[in-house]
Chains A and B, each alone.
Chain A
């Protein structure tokens, strides 16, 4: 049973039916994707103020990566109940893997595994938004600039926001340092959560470290290309485009119990001591969960 086209357009900002919740035949699913694409070509759709296009994200972008999620990385999710159904929360996760597949997989996990099919609104570096095509795609998928204005606006309007506070230090670290959390910036994400009184959900992702094991960083090439790093892996650039195929590691994602911030006194968001303490707590929880998940996983390829 498919909603009418008009109903789907009206519902553009509400929860979007997912492949998990409504079992549909293969042909119907593909027609739906086709309809969404046709509406995009005709300009007949709505984006929110951040440029988020929920239908395009669900029916086209996520549809492209779902095979990777289900069959290649075989992502196993636990603790999804930590994410609230109808209010805001800040998902804070470890970052790794040379290319940010971990954030994409987390977005699929939050949307497809959560009963309310929440959209994960990620915060990205300004480098993302000044890059042609990439910045555009990121906005369409619901991501926005990592700045306190956007974080607080999304959280206070009840969205699930995702941050990867290690940034390029995490994603571009050598393979030898896998599963060792890097420094967490200035903890700006904590102050956004405290100011909006939303819970922080420490999230550990195991599996992304092994998709492109970075054995060296060609920093000269990186500088020439204006990139934060240029990875050398066992297969890239040696095997050319084939080296871009990620290794099929087994993934586990765990959303840990929320850290509440609504009991903190007024002004806590500007108190560095409070912010550092919560930042440490989040970091420590993610690190501990990473070790637990690694033990649980056993072999790299499951």
Chain B
């Protein structure tokens, strides 16, 4: 009997793509896409319109005999959700409800969760490379990054209560590609990009296809564990902006949030305290664990992922 997978957040780009890549894979019998809003384009898999914050979700999982849940439903930008409080509601309460449902459904064997490297925060006291065991010296204080910390806490709690379920969490570097739209891509495509004066942070990017591929492999190989995922190599912000052809405007750190927000009016660009810290210190992940466990090094290096993104930006 093959895998019956439910994928949350399929009406957004990465969730939809992940569901599509699971369809018709050998070893996968059925893929059910879940979201609270209908998908913008027809999905490759079946779609059920359901709010993961509702009770109905456990009934649905039970009835369909789902054994694998891929949770891609964590939202990174308040704009996508319709405000910060709705976003927090979907991210944190939604995950709680989803995990509570999974806990009740006996057929669940595997859970794959999309998280973010932003859970590590960023700052001058961090080691140059972050492993999955690194204790964050500057943990995030707000927004999506803090939501993700809380989501991971609930996932760990679930793993303790259901030791028979294999749980896999991916902490992705900035995901970019032709179709991805995040706070980071909105920031990088501002007409002029405000940066922190005197700092050129080290960054990593992962191509959307690689992010989807690693999730697909995790489902097929029933992987468990927590893994950093990033494209090979490291790049600094000034190089990123040169590749995108965007002029940088260095500002003192204290002025950046106010100026950034006024410059980015109407876009998703993120100028939270955590993001400003990231724009000072940057962050580089040690990805040896995912390479060892899943044999995954990604098709795109950090630079190639950005090149693909830059091409899409230049075409538009």
- Residue numbers of A with Cβ under 8 A of B are 42-43, 45-51, 126, 129-136, 139, 144-145, 147, 149-150, 153
Decide: A145 and B127 in contact? CB cutoff 8 A.
yes
A145's partner among B126, B196, B242, B253 (CB-CB below 8 A) is: B126
Decide: B236 and A47 in contact? CB cutoff 8 A.
yes
Decide: B242 and A43 in contact? CB cutoff 8 A.
yes
Q: Which residue of B lies closest to A125 (CB)?
A: B124
Decide: A132 and B236 in contact? CB cutoff 8 A.
no
B126 / chain A contacts, CB cutoff of 8 Å: 145
Decide: B197 and A132 in contact? CB cutoff 8 A.
yes
Chain B: residues with Cβ within 8 Å of the partner, total of: 29
CA distance A131 to B281 in the complex (A): 10
Decide: B242 and A42 in contact? CB cutoff 8 A.
yes
B125 contacts the other chain (CB 8 A): yes
Decide: B128 and A50 in contact? CB cutoff 8 A.
yes
A–B pairs, 20, beta carbons within 8 Å: A42-B242, A43-B239, A45-B239, A46-B233, A51-B282, A129-B124, A129-B281, A131-B198, A132-B197, A132-B198, A134-B198, A135-B124, A135-B199, A136-B198, A144-B127, A145-B126, A145-B128, A149-B128, A150-B127, A150-B128
Chain B contacts with A in 221-245, Cβ cutoff 8 A: 233-236, 238-239, 241-243
- Residue numbers of B with Cβ under 8 A of A are 123-129, 131, 134, 196-200, 202, 233-236, 238-239, 241-243, 253, 280-282, 284
Determine how close the nearest CB of chain A comes to the CB of B286; give it in whole angstroms.
8
A49 / chain B contacts, CB cutoff of 8 Å: 128-129, 202, 233-234, 284
Decide: A47 and B202 in contact? CB cutoff 8 A.
yes
B197 / chain A contacts, CB cutoff of 8 Å: 132
Q: A49-B234, A149-B128 are in contact. List 10 more A-B contacts (CB 8 A).
A: A43-B242, A49-B284, A51-B236, A132-B199, A133-B198, A136-B198, A136-B199, A144-B128, A145-B124, A147-B125
CA distance A49 to B123 in the complex (A): 16
Decide: B125 and A145 in contact? CB cutoff 8 A.
yes
B198 / chain A contacts, CB cutoff of 8 Å: 131-136
Determine how close the nearest CB of chain A comes to the CB of B256; give it in whole angstroms.
12
Q: Which residue of B lies closest to A147 (CB)?
A: B127
A153 / chain B contacts, CB cutoff of 8 Å: 127-129
Decide: A48 and B234 in contact? CB cutoff 8 A.
yes
Determine how close the nearest CB of chain B comes to the CB of A60; give it in whole angstroms.
15
Q: Which residue of B lies closest to A148 (CB)?
A: B127
Decide: A130 and B127 in contact? CB cutoff 8 A.
no
Known: A145-B127, A147-B127. A139 touches B202 (CB 8 A): yes
B125 / chain A contacts, CB cutoff of 8 Å: 126, 145, 147
B134's partner among A134, A136, A144, A149 (CB-CB below 8 A) is: A149
A145 / chain B contacts, CB cutoff of 8 Å: 124-128
A45 / chain B contacts, CB cutoff of 8 Å: 239
CA distance A47 to B239 in the complex (A): 10
A51's partner among B134, B196, B202, B243 (CB-CB below 8 A) is: B202
A50 / chain B contacts, CB cutoff of 8 Å: 128-129
Q: Which residue of A lies closest to B253 (CB)?
A: A132
CA distance A129 to B281 in the complex (A): 8
